[in-house]
Structure 1
Amino acid sequence: MDALVIYYSRTGTTKRLARMISHRLNYDCEEIRSIESYKGIFGCIKAARQDVSSTLPSLCPLEHDPAVYENVILGTPVHASRMAAPVRSFLTSNKDKLKNLALFITHQGSECESTARGIEDLVGTKTVAQLCVRASELDTEDLRTMIDDFVDRISNVGD
């Protein structure tokens, strides 16, 4: 299957899950990187402001073109019940290039459904699969099964 795992991660949680998914199936993997820094307490405050205000931060150029992939598997953390601002920038610039979009969302206890709806509203289509993972679930045995089920749903697109 032709797929790209692409993600944004400020603290490393979403990055860990992205790598688990991409390594499991040998998919290409790329991090969405903002030109701005979000490190430290001031970076956290800046990120929160951008998330709530729907700001579109400038991004570093991508190495992989999402248009050449049949499936794009997008990862975002939940920030204030929303997608991270760099993910919003990526989707705004690339939504017309996405053939099939699947989501994995990491959170600390927030609801993932509103984040997923926001992404679907932005791209104007339903996602083919969604995986919602609490940060505390990253080190559990159940995660492997969750990833397998998620990938199976993506693999069955078009069947």
Structure 2
Amino acid sequence: MKILIVYYSRSGITKNVANILKEKLDADIEEITDNNKYSGAIGWLKGGFNASTGRLSEINPISKNPLHYDLTIIGSPVWASNIATPVATFINKNYKDLTKVAGFVTCGSGGGEKALEKMSEECEKQLEATMILTSKDIENDLDKKINTFIDKLKL
């Protein structure tokens, strides 16, 4: 099965998880980038506002076409109980090219369920598998959570 992992990461946490998945699944990987500045406290507030109001951003082009993959795993931080604005923009531009989709989110403590529901709605597909990683999970159970997510994929 040919797998693509697509993710956005503001702080590097989602990127780290995406790279672990890439290694464990021997998948291709693509980082979603945009020209908005979401760093620092102002960027955090801006990101939460944009996500909660459904605003999209201008993301930079990606090099891999999701249409050429059997499964796309989408990773996002949780912003105001939503997927990050760059991830929402990626899905908006590519949802018709997504064959099967799985999703994971990283968050401080909550909002992951709502964010994954939003991801599924935006993709117009039921997610094959989901994973919510809180700060506590990342510190204590990361490998176990990732292995459970991979098992749910039924590869």
The TM tier, using the shorter chain, reads over 0.9
Instruction: Say if 1:13 and 1:135, in contact at 8 Å, map to a contact too.
Output: no
Per-residue deviation at 1:137? 2.1
Alignment partners' CA distance in 2, 1:50 and 1:33: 16
Per-residue deviation at 1:136? 2.8
Instruction: Say if 2:120 and 2:127, in contact at 8 Å, map to a contact too.
Output: yes
The AA in structure 2 aligned to 1:11 is S
* More displaced stretch, 56-65 vs 31-40: 31-40
Per-residue deviation at 1:47? 1.2
Instruction: Say if 2:33 and 2:60, in contact at 8 Å, map to a contact too.
Output: yes
- 1:153 is matched with 152
Unaligned runs of 5+ in 1: none
Alignment partners' CA distance in 2, 1:111 and 1:51: 12
Instruction: Say if 1:103 and 1:116, in contact at 8 Å, map to a contact too.
Output: yes
Instruction: Say if 2:32 and 2:60, in contact at 8 Å, map to a contact too.
Output: yes
Which secondary structure state, in structure 2, belongs to the residue aligned with residue 29 of structure 1? strand
Give a deviation string over 1:89-132, Cα, whole Å, max 9, x none.
00000000111100011110013111111111112221000011
- 1:19 is matched with 19
Asked whether 1:102 is paired with 2:102, we answer: yes
Unaligned runs of 5+ in 2: none
Per-residue deviation at 1:42? 2.2
Give a deviation string over 1:7-62, Cα, whole Å, max 9, x none.
01111111111111111222111111012221222222221221111111000110
- 1:114 is matched with 114
Q: Which runs of 4+ in 1 moved over 6 A?
A: none
- 1:50 is matched with 50
What is the TM-score with the length of structure 2 in the denominator? 0.93
Alignment partners' CA distance in 1, 2:151 and 2:68: 21
* More displaced stretch, 44-53 vs 80-89: 44-53
Instruction: Say if 2:70 and 2:99, in contact at 8 Å, map to a contact too.
Output: yes
Q: Percent identity?
A: 29
The AA in structure 1 aligned to 2:8 is Y
Give a deviation string over 1:115-155, Cα, whole Å, max 9, x none.
11111111222100001111232233x32222122112223
How many residue pairs get matched?
A: 155
The AA in structure 1 aligned to 2:112 is C
Alignment partners' CA distance in 1, 2:21 and 2:139: 14
Alignment partners' CA distance in 1, 2:44 and 2:81: 15
The AA in structure 2 aligned to 1:152 is D
Alignment partners' CA distance in 2, 1:4 and 1:155: 16
